[in-house]
Structure 1
Amino acid sequence: MKETIHSYEDLLIMLDHLLKESSEFNWDQFYSDRERKVPFFENHPDENLVDYMEKSRITAGKALELGCGPGRNAIYLARNGFHVDAVDQSAEGLDWAIERAKEQKVQVNFVLRNIFDLDIEEDTYDLVYDSGCFHHIPPHRRMDYISLVKRALKPGGSFALTCFAEGGELGGAGISDWEVYRGRSMRGGLGFTDEKLKGIFRDFTAVEIRKMRDMENETKQFGKSALLAALFKKEN
């Protein structure tokens, strides 16, 4: 690889390589053991997503899920009338998601791709959803992430995400963006507060930011209070 920076993209790639996790963690290996005791491996939607639907804060339309993994939220949206494009860069995760969708007889367009390689027509989606992808996005990629969400959403559309709360028991490093590069590590995933999320997504209107509710398995919903759930609107 040539190590000369000629463009903004060259700079982003260089910063990617500075961070340890980008080369050490393998999502295909992570999803290959389906018996792993990971709470979100259960095929249950996020409790906040169910809450948004039941309270009509979101209504059926076209949805994009970023980092869909084994597809539990994409499948829930499809079952509730959404036309869903669900994106992940893990083939193992998407194979599992496709199996689940077939078992439940729902149609989801699963896309194997890095989210930053998506070619999305402007004002396409009524909902962009992200459950657990954002806190793994390094700070230097964040501006492109925000641009992707803004481009994808229709005016008045909703953007919702769950992410690590700062210092939560599941993860959530309480470090500054600069400290990420001083230590060359995101420490497994960045943690956020209400105010940090409002600042990062200041171009959107914050509808609600709260801790997720802890949910037992028999509820058929996923929820952990170590995570934040946030709902934003794109201005008309």
Structure 2
Amino acid sequence: MKTQFGNILLRRRKELGFTQEYIAKALHLSAQAISKWERGETMPDILLLPALADLLQTSTDELLGHHRQYGKTVYADRYQADEFYWGLEPNEMCYDILRLKPPSQRRLVLDMGCGEGKDAVFLARCGYRAVGFDLAAESIAKAKWLASQYPTAAAEFFRADMLEYVPQQEYDILFASGVLHYLPPERRGAILQEYQRCIRPGGLCALNVFAQKPFIPPPPDEEIDGGYWRSGELFSLFADWKFHRCEEIIFDCVSGGTLHQHVMDILIAEKIV
């Protein structure tokens, strides 16, 4: 991945006629740092990628070597509305993160399937450095707009597919809410293992998944591509982690304008080794 990124950076820089010094000055870095990127020795902090992509007149996806043409997602039309489809109230797991790992050390958060960015922006406003990605272009546009309303909040967003994107740096916290049902059942373990690998020792995974119960009918307004999780399935994938929160709840929901219920498994787990 580092070599691929370096080759893309080098090619694009030469196409534009930029020197390493020019890029370094624009990003407030040293030319040596740019040289190391191009040689595949290091990667930039992910928070720098949007600025680097803008400078090189390309996208973050292209810089990372993702050339897939993404289709329209199931939420595309809903995200085009002026209001925020999921509202702006942060998920309660954000408060678990604040309690367990306060932002005093400017901890780095990755929001997987960030939607319109409300949780990532909230955490950034609290003092974390937050990075979010989502498949829907419409949601990323709204997330960037929301972040722009808080200039001191360190929040960046880019478009990527969780089935393809592999993190290339370490994070203190992985956050994923209401999105992991899009992982195909046969790939869940392998994909989450990749994300577990990128969490620093002492870091957290704050995750929830929709679980299936025979006495709860499916919601009327959602397309569950990968399928519901089995009750307890998420917990089993973190058997070697320290559990701070591990529970299953049933709650009412009115998304789409119709009252229905969800079963959700919630996990806050810490990586000890």
For Structure 1 versus Structure 2, the TM-score category normalised by the shorter chain is 0.5 to 0.7
Shift of 1:42: 0.5
The alpha-carbon distance between structure 1 residues 164 and 28, as it changes in their structure 2 partners (threshold 3 A), is same
Q: 1:161 is paired with a residue of what secondary structure?
A: strand
Distance (whole Å) between structure 1 residues aligned to residue 217 and residue 198 of structure 2? 32
1:32 counterpart residue number: 80
1:161 counterpart residue number: 207
Aligned pairs for 1:213-228 within 5 A: 226-228=263-265
Aligned pairs for 1:6-155 within 5 A: 26-35=74-83, 38=85, 41-53=86-98, 56-60=99-103, 61-105=107-151, 106-122=153-169, 124-155=170-201
* Contact 1:47–1:213 (8 Å) recurs in 2: no
Whether 1:190 aligns to 2:190 is: no
What is the aligned length? Answer: 188
Amino acid at match of 1:129: F
Distance (whole Å) between structure 1 residues aligned to residue 94 and residue 137 of structure 2? 25
Q: 1:145 is paired with a residue of what secondary structure?
A: helix
Percent of pairs identical after alignment?
A: 24
Distance (whole Å) between structure 2 residues aligned to residue 142 and residue 196 of structure 1? 10
Distance (whole Å) between structure 1 residues aligned to residue 125 and residue 140 of structure 2? 18
Q: 1:108 is paired with a residue of what secondary structure?
A: strand
Shift of 1:233: 1.5
Deviations 1:158-197 (A, max 9, x none): 00112213235674xxxxxxxxxxxxx957741442x322
Shift of 1:116: 3.7
Deviations 1:84-143 (A, max 9, x none): 111111110011111111123323110111124334335x11100001111221112213
Q: 1:157 is paired with a residue of what secondary structure?
A: strand
Q: 2:122 is paired with a residue of what secondary structure?
A: helix
The alpha-carbon distance between structure 1 residues 149 and 98, as it changes in their structure 2 partners (threshold 3 A), is same
Distance (whole Å) between structure 2 residues aligned to residue 103 and residue 118 of structure 1? 28
User: Radius of gyration: which is bigger?
Assistant: 2
Distance (whole Å) between structure 2 residues aligned to residue 108 and residue 190 of structure 1? 30
2:266 counterpart residue number: 229
Deviations 1:36-72 (A, max 9, x none): 8x5xx2011101321441xx21222111110000001
Unaligned stretches of 5+ residues in structure 2? 1-70, 254-260
Q: 2:100 is paired with a residue of what secondary structure?
A: coil
1:204 counterpart residue number: 241
Distance (whole Å) between structure 2 residues aligned to residue 112 and residue 82 of structure 1? 21
The alpha-carbon distance between structure 1 residues 86 and 42, as it changes in their structure 2 partners (threshold 3 A), is same
Amino acid at match of 1:230: L
The alpha-carbon distance between structure 1 residues 192 and 35, as it changes in their structure 2 partners (threshold 3 A), is farther
Deviates more, 1:206-215 or 1:25-34: 206-215
State the superposition RMSD in angstroms: 3.1
Distance (whole Å) between structure 1 residues aligned to residue 206 and residue 119 of structure 2? 12
Distance (whole Å) between structure 2 residues aligned to residue 229 and residue 116 of structure 1? 21
Q: 1:190 is paired with a residue of what secondary structure?
A: coil
Unaligned stretches of 5+ residues in structure 1? 1-22, 172-184, 217-223
